[in-house]
Structure 1
Amino acid sequence: MIHQAQTRPASAGPTPLPLFSRQNWCWEWTRSYTGDSTPIESSETLLFRGPLDTGALRDTLAEIATRHEALRLHLVADAGPGPSAAWPGQALRPGPGPLDTVRAAPQERAAEVTRVLSRPLDLTDRMTRTTLVRTGEEEHVLVAQFHHLIFDGTSHLLFRDLLAHGYRERVVPDHGTVEHCRAPESYTGLIGREHTPEARSAVRARAAALAGELRAYGTADPLPGDAGAVVPEAEFASVPLTLTAERTRWLLRRSRAERVTLHTVLLAALSHAVATEYERDRLVCSVYTHGRTSASARETLGLFSTVVPVPVDTEFRSLPAFVRDVHGRIQRATEYTDVPFSEVASRVVDRPHADGAYHRSALAHLELRLSGVTGWLPEEPNRTPPLPHGLTMTPQGLYPDHPVPVFAGPEQALACATTLFADLEMTDGALTGSLWYENRYHDAGRAARVGDVFMHFVARLSEDSIS
């Protein structure tokens, strides 16, 4: 049973809602760019083939939005562009939004979907919008746009499950399955509990403790580069990081043997590579955590994921000891999931222009993102639940062409430029990806050497005996 405080909308009164701790980093990140830059959205595009009951779909979407409060949030005033925009507050709409419907010729499907996705959201109305593009009697595309402030990666799979289950319940009401019976966490209730005087006092103390540790690990001492060459329009180059399927299997096997995640192993490899090239014995890494710290939150749509800084000692006696130490540090760092990013950043580095924004990598020397695998188990790509009467639902990789985002100020541009970003994905049993670096700030030769050391470290881990 959900506690009563979790089910009472915190926005029922006239006072606008503050930021949820998990929204804080995304709000800072959003403000790091000019107002006309690419919107930070996390949209879902689903192709339906077969006999679609549009009424059942519309009712299902309405039920999802009714039960999941994040989908009914809106900003109470225009936030304005730029890093100095103050948080305007958010409030809860009493009812779900509409499902817009448009028609397009089959050959215009991709163009129409990208046109819909290109329309900016009016965040003062809602931070989500759903549109059904009909291209034939038995072909439809659902375009569900979500601003990242109210939606994260975990929400995508959950949204598909909720959509399929609710649709089946309406079209075949006696199909007999029971799914997602747990009541979702109240998003507004979570926000309200975080902002009690007692909770705020505890968070400030923990933020101060983490900030002190990060300072000791050189978070305010960035990787060296050409700071004078950085401009608002970022220009990134990359070094390929690709493992064969065989090498990936060995690495998964070693991860299981050490009882650590594949993410841990890759972060250890990247930390070692950066430390070797830049001669650092301490680094701060930026990692993503799902942020769902309760069972009911795992059934809740919303932005729960957050960026957590992880301090790492890069000197080690053996590979196994180093990997285990990194694993322990990640575990300890995720205990700070509920500490707002800006609470820590403001204690470590000066806030730009007193009220400016912090880029999400402002505290880190390096960042690692890994997708397609959970723990050491590969995920099923584009998994979709079954639908009745031969109807199929397939995720579509359609995205509009946006211009290169422009940083709102030199501080945000430099905070991003100094960080090295590794983005890896498990595809068909193999890890593929790249190490990305700002081309004007970082030397291409150094970045290439980081990639070489990374690959050598991974090879040693996958070949050597770890005991």
Structure 2
Amino acid sequence: MLFTSGSTGRPKGVVVSHRNVAEFVTGWAGVTGAGAGVRALCASSLVFDAVVIDLFVPLLLGGAVQLAGSDDRTDPVRLARFIAAHEVDWGILTPTVLSLLDPADVPTWRTVLCGGEAVPAELAERWAPGRRFVNAYGPTETTVAALACDLVATETDPVPIGVPLPNHRVYVVDADLRPVPPGETGELLVGGPGVADGYLNRPGLTAERFVPDPFSGLAGERLYRTGDLVTQAPDGRFVYHGRIDRQVKVRGQRIELGEVEAVLAGHPGVDRVTVEAVDGPAGTELVAFLTPADAPDDAALAAYAESRLTAAMRTARTVRLAELPVSPTTGKLDRSALRALAAASRPQPAADEPVDGDPVTRAVARVWARLLGAAPGPDTDFLAAGGNSIAAMRLVAALRAELGRHVDTRDVFAGRTLAGLVRRIAAAAPDAGDGLTTGNPPTLSPPQRRLWFVDQIAPSSAPYNIAVAHRLRGELDVPALGAALRAVAERHDVLRWRIPQTAGVPYAVCEEPTDVAVPVVDLTGGGDPEAELARMLAAGAAHAFDLATGPPWQVTVYRLGPAEHVLAVSWHHAVFDGWSEAVFYDDLAAAYAQAVAGDAPGLPALTTRYADYAVWRAARDRRRGAEDLQWWAAHLRDAPIVLDLPRDRPRPAVQTYAGAEAAVTFSPVADRAVRELAERRGTTVAAVLLAGFGELLSRLTGADDHVVGAIVADRRLAALDDVVGFFIDTVPVRVRTGAASFAELVDRCAGELHEVTAHPGAPLEKIVEALGVGRDTSRAPLVQVLFNVLNFVQPRLALTGLAAEPVPVPKPGSPFDITVYVVERGGRLGVEVVYNPDLFDADRIEALLTDLAGLVGALAADPGAKAAEAAPELPRPTVRTAQLGAMAVTAEPARPVVLPAGPDALTETEELIAGIWREVLERDGVGVTDNFFDIGGHSMALAAVHARLTAATGRSIAMLDLFRHPTVRALAAHLDGAADRPELARAALRAAARRSRARRNPSRRPGGTA
């Protein structure tokens, strides 16, 4: 039973069936992307029908609900903190409340639902970029919502209310219930599974509003007459134009003015009454007009109405008249005159004393006057001036922005007067600044430098590409698409970066905006177009970007028919991450809409760019890097640096970065057990699955201590939400199992995940260096297995006039032995794995995933038992046992080493290499058998050595060779033996060695230590 307001002074109960709710939940979940992993916000009162969205949708799908208390619901600052602290990623608010929040304060909230009132275009402009912004429409009689649509930042007023939810039917009709053509205004009728049974004990009203459906041809179907006037726009969305009757929205609640009038008319001192809804300082407010002129005072009317009307239905003020105004033309009530009287009756609080020159007082008074419509005096009472909880929320939001002080609605109501509020603000702490500067030149971040280095080692592979594709149905305007892509690249300058190097040091160069190439590949010429598409998508995803020349991304359109295309886009990870995908889609949608409308696409310039993040991060790392690195060194002391899983073939001597994929979905029982355990332990699903994965690793390796990688997004500043770029860090997570219950393992993993994210000042390469991890060309240092939770809502592309559907694209490579992705598909948890097929057979990986799902289900079902005792048959022997000889590393053929004449003598090649090492490492001596990484060498130093060595010899030398031959003698022997013309190579090396000697102290003599 859901209640709404009626026209007779009594609440109307709407009989909503379980089927109505079930159909709504299913349809709403599909439209808004809700699923089992959703962290939903519940900020609605339990008597407001939006609570069906807040509670039933996430709970029936196995999601989590974050219940906001009354203090949080009424205070925008507290509400924003609540959303951020509870990592809310899905939820609905009314436009009034949403307008008081800053999108930058709630970065995890990726699907924002808005309903209950008309959404202004300005709100869409603020909230649509970088996330899904969904407008929802529907009366209670159609089970909460019947229409919805995604809004973009370029919407104009009146904003569309959407298109029908799945299986819903809508019609626009005239007064005689005859359909009107698209573009003409009429009453909106709604049919389908959401239509309620009717009103409780109100058969007459039910028959009036719930009418037979004459259009669908379905026997017994009914339509609900909404009383709303709408038109259907050319794009199919519906636009709201007001009410046929006198129903209004106040604070998100539907109020029928007749009900308020009926209650007030029941007072014995009132003869006639009418109520109007007018714009007030806190949104829509109600004004009552009464006769006679000596009708009861406000206090008496308020006491009478308090027990008869809800807070939203009570009038803000009362105007007493001898007679209600009547139009001389029609003889009807003159509502225009009433609205003019309402405006004139707004109280103008007297300024008891002039506001003094105190800056804080002046600022508070200025904001107060702007919101409440009158300048306050020091003793002006906030409530007496027309303030309420909504006005207090707006006041708080404005004061925080203007004064930079930590103030909330409790200060407003406790201070009450202007002077009292000023005193509380003066004592409030300032908001902490983030130290972010803007306008910085292109600057590489540590994660970008790390990927650049990997690119130098394996320039022909693509393990760090991100590739997506969408099937577009409809008429695609390719020139408009190209113009839109250019606009996106203009807004996000990191897409125009290239990364060259000088002397082994990479740096960023930003190119001027130019057209983005959009080649169109026609696949309609015969054969199997879908097979050819799959082949070409895989090839495009594996494209090796040249970071030095750029651009670091590419676009291709595949034509499958006149109204069917596939748009494929790939980026190098150095300029793009998963979060960037939604930002890119939103900006592309906005620019494409402009282009197809015939306008030159133009997106607003970003205040903050990726370079600003890189500079901010560098400052942060300098400030706290030493302390964080010390923590990492202590935390990982004695931790294993190699994680070798049973495999099917020997590990190649050089890491290949090849990739293949496999996936498994958990059973409903396991899914439920994992979620319930996470809820009971007060942690995340990720912690539960990491603990289960750790137990699997223990059984596969026989060890109870492992290091796996985890992904941390470094978008810690709200200003970075709408910035495309690479904000990802890989952090080593220590997973220790041992003789513990599974619940204890979950708690341990939850604590570990919390700890590692709290020490961001030391990038992975610094941690590797601090731990003294030796370099091994056959595997990644320290982290060979990655555990990644994809906990953001899958972004959706929405281009004007086109239906977009994602097309799977294979991942082009694997930077680790195995990468485990925790995902949610179809409302159920699952695991997707990218693995290196040069190490593992597909059968082994598929069996491993099946056993992982089974083991996690068994562990979660009995978390109090010892983890080591659960499902002892898992993993199966085929997973647990390596193939014979497969745990070895493939040996490389050794080149003969020609020793110099004397034991301490150096060849010309050795002398050249040793000299470069001394210069780069700033050492006085380098032994010919010293390992480069044991004497202070690291990745970027190796890049500098590589640049100087190639310049000195004039030869193309693979950087990987410096890893494979990490001593002076080994590298010299390799270079001498690898030349096409050894005699010419030796001559060049002798000349380079002489130049190197000339730059050094001439008194230095070569010897056993160079």
Q: Which residue matches 2:511? A: 93
- Partners of 1:299 and 1:422 lie apart in 2 by 27
How do 1:407-422 and structure 2 match up within 5 A?
Answer: 421-422=819-820
- Partners of 1:150 and 1:9 lie apart in 2 by 17
Per the TM alignment, residue 188 of structure 1 is displaced from its structure 2 partner at its CA by 0.8
Per the TM alignment, residue 103 of structure 1 is displaced from its structure 2 partner at its CA by 4.2
**Which of residues 822, 839, 857 in structure 2 aligns to 1:458?**
857
- Partners of 2:561 and 2:819 lie apart in 1 by 42
* Structure 2 residue identity aligned to 1:89: Y
Deviations 1:307-328 (A, max 9, x none): 1111233246443333122112
* Structure 2 residue identity aligned to 1:306: D
Secondary structure of 1:164's partner?
A: helix
Change in Cα spacing, 1:445 to 1:52, as seen in structure 2 (3 Å) is closer
* Structure 2 residue identity aligned to 1:102: V
* Structure 2 residue identity aligned to 1:458: G
* Structure 1 residue identity aligned to 2:800: P
Change in Cα spacing, 1:233 to 1:325, as seen in structure 2 (3 Å) is closer
Find out whether 1:243 has 2:654 as its counterpart. Answer: no
CA contact (8 A) 2:629 2:767 kept: yes
Q: Which residue matches 2:572? A: 147
Find out whether 1:301 has 2:724 as its counterpart. Answer: yes
Q: Which residue matches 1:313? A: 736
Change in Cα spacing, 1:209 to 1:358, as seen in structure 2 (3 Å) is farther
* Structure 2 residue identity aligned to 1:459: A
Find out whether 1:367 has 2:367 as its counterpart. Answer: no
CA contact (8 A) 2:462 2:544 kept: no
Secondary structure of 2:569's partner?
A: strand
**Which of residues 491, 503, 507 in structure 2 aligns to 1:67?**
491
Per the TM alignment, residue 29 of structure 1 is displaced from its structure 2 partner at its CA by 4.1
Per the TM alignment, residue 165 of structure 1 is displaced from its structure 2 partner at its CA by 2.9
Secondary structure of 2:823's partner?
A: strand
Per the TM alignment, residue 330 of structure 1 is displaced from its structure 2 partner at its CA by 0.4
**Which of residues 451, 460, 466 in structure 2 aligns to 1:26?**
451
- Partners of 2:584 and 2:646 lie apart in 1 by 42
CA contact (8 A) 1:437 1:447 kept: no
Find out whether 1:230 has 2:661 as its counterpart. Answer: no
Per the TM alignment, residue 20 of structure 1 is displaced from its structure 2 partner at its CA by 0.8
Change in Cα spacing, 1:348 to 1:225, as seen in structure 2 (3 Å) is farther
* Structure 1 residue identity aligned to 2:576: F
Change in Cα spacing, 1:91 to 1:370, as seen in structure 2 (3 Å) is same
Find out whether 1:10 has 2:431 as its counterpart. Answer: no
CA contact (8 A) 1:240 1:434 kept: yes
CA contact (8 A) 1:101 1:134 kept: no
CA contact (8 A) 2:743 2:864 kept: no
The 10-residue stretch of structure 1 (337-346 or 37-46) with the greater mean CA deviation from structure 2: 37-46
The 10-residue stretch of structure 1 (131-140 or 326-335) with the greater mean CA deviation from structure 2: 131-140
Change in Cα spacing, 1:253 to 1:27, as seen in structure 2 (3 Å) is farther
- Partners of 2:732 and 2:441 lie apart in 1 by 30
Q: Which residue matches 1:14? A: none
Per the TM alignment, residue 298 of structure 1 is displaced from its structure 2 partner at its CA by 2.3
CA contact (8 A) 1:273 1:451 kept: no
Per the TM alignment, residue 296 of structure 1 is displaced from its structure 2 partner at its CA by 2.3
Find out whether 1:428 has 2:826 as its counterpart. Answer: yes
TM-score norm. by structure 1 comes to 0.74
Q: Which residue matches 2:804? A: 393
Q: Which residue matches 1:220? A: 641
Identity %: 19
Change in Cα spacing, 1:86 to 1:352, as seen in structure 2 (3 Å) is farther
CA contact (8 A) 2:661 2:835 kept: yes
Q: Which residue matches 1:413? A: none
Secondary structure of 2:678's partner?
A: helix
Gaps of 5+ in 2: 1-400, 402-432, 866-1010
Deviations 1:405-451 (A, max 9, x none): 8x9xxxxxxxx56xx65444332234244596888699x99997997
* Structure 2 residue identity aligned to 1:10: P
Change in Cα spacing, 1:46 to 1:173, as seen in structure 2 (3 Å) is same
Gaps of 5+ in 1: 12-16, 79-84, 175-179, 408-415
Deviations 1:248-304 (A, max 9, x none): 133123223323221111101111232355443433221112222122222221111
**Which of residues 462, 466, 482 in structure 2 aligns to 1:58?**
482
- Partners of 1:271 and 1:112 lie apart in 2 by 38
Q: Which residue matches 1:326? A: 749
The 10-residue stretch of structure 1 (228-237 or 69-78) with the greater mean CA deviation from structure 2: 228-237
Larger radius of gyration: 2
Change in Cα spacing, 1:41 to 1:277, as seen in structure 2 (3 Å) is closer
CA contact (8 A) 1:277 1:450 kept: no
CA contact (8 A) 1:283 1:365 kept: no
Find out whether 1:43 has 2:467 as its counterpart. Answer: yes
Secondary structure of 1:336's partner?
A: coil
Change in Cα spacing, 1:301 to 1:237, as seen in structure 2 (3 Å) is closer
CA contact (8 A) 1:47 1:396 kept: yes
Per the TM alignment, residue 159 of structure 1 is displaced from its structure 2 partner at its CA by 1.8
Deviations 1:102-147 (A, max 9, x none): 3414354715555655654332132122333445443333332211
* Structure 2 residue identity aligned to 1:275: S
CA contact (8 A) 2:741 2:864 kept: no
CA contact (8 A) 2:468 2:570 kept: yes
Change in Cα spacing, 1:437 to 1:187, as seen in structure 2 (3 Å) is closer
- Partners of 1:63 and 1:90 lie apart in 2 by 21
Q: Which residue matches 1:384? A: 796
CA contact (8 A) 1:20 1:191 kept: yes
- Partners of 2:538 and 2:740 lie apart in 1 by 52
Find out whether 1:211 has 2:594 as its counterpart. Answer: no
Secondary structure of 2:611's partner?
A: helix
**Which of residues 108, 122, 125 in structure 1 aligns to 2:550?**
125
Residue correspondences, number: 420
* Structure 1 residue identity aligned to 2:481: L
CA contact (8 A) 1:29 1:358 kept: no
CA contact (8 A) 1:220 1:348 kept: no
Q: Which residue matches 2:705? A: 282
Deviations 1:205-233 (A, max 9, x none): 422431232123x133655879x942136
Secondary structure of 1:146's partner?
A: strand
CA contact (8 A) 1:316 1:322 kept: no
CA contact (8 A) 1:285 1:366 kept: yes
- Partners of 2:434 and 2:635 lie apart in 1 by 35
Per the TM alignment, residue 42 of structure 1 is displaced from its structure 2 partner at its CA by 0.8
CA contact (8 A) 1:22 1:291 kept: no
- Partners of 2:699 and 2:536 lie apart in 1 by 49
CA contact (8 A) 1:435 1:451 kept: no
Find out whether 1:343 has 2:766 as its counterpart. Answer: yes
Find out whether 1:253 has 2:676 as its counterpart. Answer: yes
Deviations 1:134-184 (A, max 9, x none): 45443333332211111112222332222223323444699xxxxx98946
